Amino acid sequence: MEHSQLVDAFSEFKELKNIDRASMMSILEDVFRGMIKKKYGTADNFDIVINTDKGDLEAFRNRLIVADEEVTDESTQIPYSEAVKIEPDFEIGEDLAEEVRFSDFGRRAVLAARQNLMARVQELEKEGIFKKYKDRVGEIITGEVYQTWKKESLIMDDDGNELILPKSEQIPSDFFKKGDNVRAVVLRVEMMNATPKIILSRTSPLFLERLFELEVPEVFDGLITIKKIVREPGERAKVAVESYDDRIDPVGACVGMKGSRIHGIVRELRNENIDVINFTNNLPLYISRALSPAKITTIKLDDEKHHASVFLKPDQVSLAIGKGGHNIKLAGKLTGYQIDVYRDTEDDAEDVDLEEFSDEIEPWIIDELKSIGCDTAKSVIDIPIEDLVKRTDLEEETIKEVIRILKVEFE
């Protein structure tokens, strides 16, 4: 391998991204000094000159000219008789700088140097990627889907770096194919086997918070503060917001005129329902707002146990619980209180608890009805059959039979 081939090897790396010129030069010098040291035993008296613009390099061996009989170290001294063969005008005591020809090193040595160079550059690139993304944790990035597997998708950023979007960090209704553009937040960055692994997320509350910053200028500018976000990805989210400026309506600003601001976020999150509520230190009021859209009658708090008993009109119970129990579950996470809902109606005396029908209705059916807030006979009868079918896992025939049994009680 000739000198020109070494120049070509250097040219392959000098345009690599994420590596500054000074670092590149330092690596090259280290690699070639190692090559020289292996051949000559030392590299201390060698000068290496690298031209990063041309992709060229030169090496010079510096030795002191001494009388032939006074040579004690051949690596740093050269006999006068040899020096005058290079240049007849040389005299004893002068320094001689002799160009090193890389063709003299042999093919194996040059190949080893090239492999060492590749390894060092790749290592530096990996460190650069790690540092870059370590500083971007919590930021939204946009990438292109390169490949999808059962448990994760491989995303490529604008610089060609590989990012991982695990299935567990995808919204359940997400479906990606190669070439799709994806927005996600950088969740964490870790080194695995000396290789940076960048994990993205679309389910993290941070992702929703960054989307608000993008869509709502008042949030980005700090005029509106997001106090807390809780999510059931793809289903529902609750966002507590606060403004220290009385002239700003935080909820109105986040939602936008006719929902213009919130709609973009909802579309990005695959039609996830987003409730934006005003934060307050008044705990009963905060819990009441957290259970929106249900309207609360009264609330009893047990601060020691962090428990709240919420009483509602019968037609509000299912709203408070929400589809699949998402609404009440998120309200509990948002407020930090265990919330139980109860009916508050004057007709309760005439109503009958579902447990009273356990001899005619199977317990699992009663539990299914209770999961949507129906714990009395009238609460089931008052809901249309088609709504009960949608909200529960019960068959229509089963529901009809249950209603028939319940109605008999009031005939």
Measured CA to CA, the distance from residue 331 to residue 313 in angstroms comes to 18
111 and 13 in a common domain: yes
Residue 289 lies in a domain: no
What share of the chain in percent tops pLDDT 90?
A: 42
Fill in the amino acid letter for 70: E
Give the 3-state DSSP-derived string for 167-194, with helices as H, strands as E and coil as C. HHHCCCCCCCCCCCEEEEEEEEEEEECC
217 and 193 in a common domain: no
* Helices 107-134 and 21-40: angle between axes, nearest 10 degrees: 150
Residue 4, burial from CB neighbour count under 10 angstroms (0-12, 13-18, 19+): exposed
Local confidence band at 28 (pLDDT 50, 70, 90 cut-offs): confident
Torsion of CA 104, 107, 112, 114, to 10 degrees: 90
CA 88 to chain centre: 69
Please state the rounded mean pLDDT for residues 24-28: 74
106 and 56 in a common domain: yes
Please state the rounded mean pLDDT for residues 47-61: 70
Top mean-pLDDT range of 85-89, 333-337, 387-391? 333-337
Domain extent at residue 255? 205-279
**Residue 325 or 17, more confident:** 325
**Would you state the pLDDT for residue 16?**
53
Residue 220 lies in a domain: yes
Top mean-pLDDT range of 12-26, 322-336, 362-376? 322-336
Local confidence band at 140 (pLDDT 50, 70, 90 cut-offs): very high
Q: Is the pLDDT of residue 33 over 60?
A: yes
Do β-strands 181-192 and 140-148 pair in parallel, antiparallel, or remain unpaired? antiparallel
**Would you state the pLDDT for residue 215?**
94
Q: Is the pLDDT of residue 89 over 60?
A: yes
Q: Taking the chain, what is the end-to-end CA distance rounded to the nearest angstrom?
A: 102
pLDDT in tens, 219-275: 999 999 999 999 999 999 999 999 988 899 999 999 999 899 999 999 999 999 999
Residue 163 lies in a domain: yes
In this structure, the number of other CB atoms found within 10 A of the CB of residue 223 comes to 16
148 and 59 in a common domain: no
Please state the rounded mean pLDDT for residues 344-366: 77
**Residue 245 or 58, more confident:** 245
Local confidence band at 411 (pLDDT 50, 70, 90 cut-offs): low
Nearest residue to 207 via CA among 247, 234, 242: 234
**Where do we find the tokens 């008052």?**
382
113 and 11 in a common domain: yes
**Would you state the pLDDT for residue 375?**
81
In this structure, the number of other CB atoms found within 10 A of the CB of residue 372 comes to 22
The last residue of one of the domains, among 131, 162, 180, is: 131
Helix (H, G, I), strand (E, B) or coil at 63: strand
**Would you state the pLDDT for residue 197?**
94
Local confidence band at 4 (pLDDT 50, 70, 90 cut-offs): very low
7 and 107 in a common domain: yes
168 and 58 in a common domain: no
178 and 98 in a common domain: no
87 and 148 in a common domain: no
Residue 284 lies in a domain: no
Residue 155 lies in a domain: yes
99 and 39 in a common domain: yes
b or e along 114-125 (b: 16 or more beta carbons within 10 Å of the residue's beta carbon)?
Answer: bebbeebbeebb
Helix (H, G, I), strand (E, B) or coil at 18: coil
Local confidence band at 12 (pLDDT 50, 70, 90 cut-offs): low
Contact in structure between 238 and 288 (CB atoms under 8 Å):
no
Residue 15, burial from CB neighbour count under 10 angstroms (0-12, 13-18, 19+): exposed
Local confidence band at 343 (pLDDT 50, 70, 90 cut-offs): confident
Local confidence band at 2 (pLDDT 50, 70, 90 cut-offs): very low
Please state the rounded mean pLDDT for residues 156-171: 93
Non-local (6+) Cβ contacts of 9 within 8 A are 114, 117
Which parts of 276-395 fold into alpha helices (H)?
A: 283-290, 314-321, 326-335, 363-370, 377-381, 385-391
pLDDT in tens, 358-386: 888 998 998 888 888 788 888 888 888 88
Structural domain tally of the chain? 4
The last residue of one of the domains, among 131, 151, 169, is: 131
Residue 182 lies in a domain: yes
Q: Which of 181-185, 187-191, 346-350 has the lowest mean pLDDT?
A: 346-350
Residue 136 lies in a domain: no
Measured CA to CA, the distance from residue 220 to residue 210 in angstroms comes to 9
Residue 286 lies in a domain: no
Contact in structure between 3 and 103 (CB atoms under 8 Å):
yes
The last residue of one of the domains, among 76, 106, 131, is: 131
63 and 99 in a common domain: yes
